[in-house]
Amino acid sequence: MKKFIIMAATLALLGCAQIDETERGVVLQFGKYSETFEPGLNFYNVITKEVIRIPVSTQLETVKIESGSKDLQTVYVGTNVNYHVDPLNVDKIYSKYGTRYVSTVLQPKIKETITGITPQYVPEEMLQKREEIRSRMESALKAKLDSAGAHIVIDGFTITEFQFSRAFNEAIEAKQVQEQEALKEKNIKIKMDYQNEQRVAKAKADSAVIALQMEALKKQNGKEYLMLKWIEKWDGKLPQVNGNDKVIPMINMQ
């Protein structure tokens, strides 16, 4: 009977925690770190211990902040950061930051990264070198987190937007219109130059034909030239005249 009472009391004090593959269980004993529960069914004393679940699967953190450009213009930068907590070091990250590691270390480091890199570019370069800037920000963020001993792993870094002032956007639109007009004028000039070349070529060809015709006129008092023009206009029918019931071809066969 006594053993039964002791067993019942023990079971009453025994709790269990089912830890999923996407998390780890940080066990606190009287408020201090005791151990880490791995995935599976884990038992603990509910009186002296507490289990804090820490997700270790990939999470998404979205940050949009105001920064500056190299020419001192205001630019709003939007980013998406995929990250996960190192499952082998959940005890260290909890001991250092508790459950507020996102707001305590991740967000500040993302903001530091953005404000440290965008001032190295003018707005036009931000649009043209977006991938270069993204890559630099990702590398810089990883280095900052490693230096801080955050034990947060960056899985991906994306720049979702660069938002500039209204005045800058209007200036960009005006520049694009000017470039389009310049391209249109260039195409018109190319077309006109081509047409002029065609006219010059035709004029040269016509001059060559006239020269040949003049040369033909000089020969045999123009007889060959007149014969040539007659042949060009001939419709292929022999002219005929009826006289005395005879058909006489009207053509000089000599």
pLDDT in tens, 164-186: 887 776 666 667 656 676 677 77
Mean per-residue pLDDT, 236-247: 57
Backbone φ and ψ for 110, nearest 5 degrees, come out as -65, -45
| Distance in angstroms (rounded) separating the CA atoms of residues 224 and 70 | 82
**pLDDT grade, residue 7 (50/70/90)?**
very low
**pLDDT grade, residue 61 (50/70/90)?**
very high
Q: Per-residue pLDDT for 122 more than 60?
A: yes
Q: Per-residue pLDDT for 126 more than 60?
A: yes
**pLDDT score at 22:** 96
Q: Per-residue pLDDT for 240 more than 80?
A: no
Mean per-residue pLDDT, 81-98: 96
Cα distances (Å, whole numbers) of residue 247 to 163, 238, 250, 251:
95, 11, 9, 12
In the chain, the percentage of residues whose pLDDT exceeds 90 is 54
Mean per-residue pLDDT, 204-229: 67
Are 192 and 176 spatial neighbours (Cβ–Cβ below 8 Å)? Answer: no
Choose the weakest-confidence range: 8-22, 23-37, 52-66: 8-22
**pLDDT score at 181:** 65
- Token reading at 170: 């209007």
Mean per-residue pLDDT, 103-124: 96
- Output the pTM of the full model: 0.64
Rounded to 5 degrees, what angle do the CA atoms 119, 124, 128 make? Answer: 105
What would you measure as the largest C-alpha separation in the chain, in angstroms? Answer: 160
Fold designation for 59-164: Tetrahydropterin Synthase; Chain A (3.30.479)
Count Cβ atoms within 10 A of the Cβ of residue 246 and give its class: 0-12 exposed, 13-18 middle, 19 or more buried. exposed
| Distance in angstroms (rounded) separating the CA atoms of residues 101 and 92 | 11
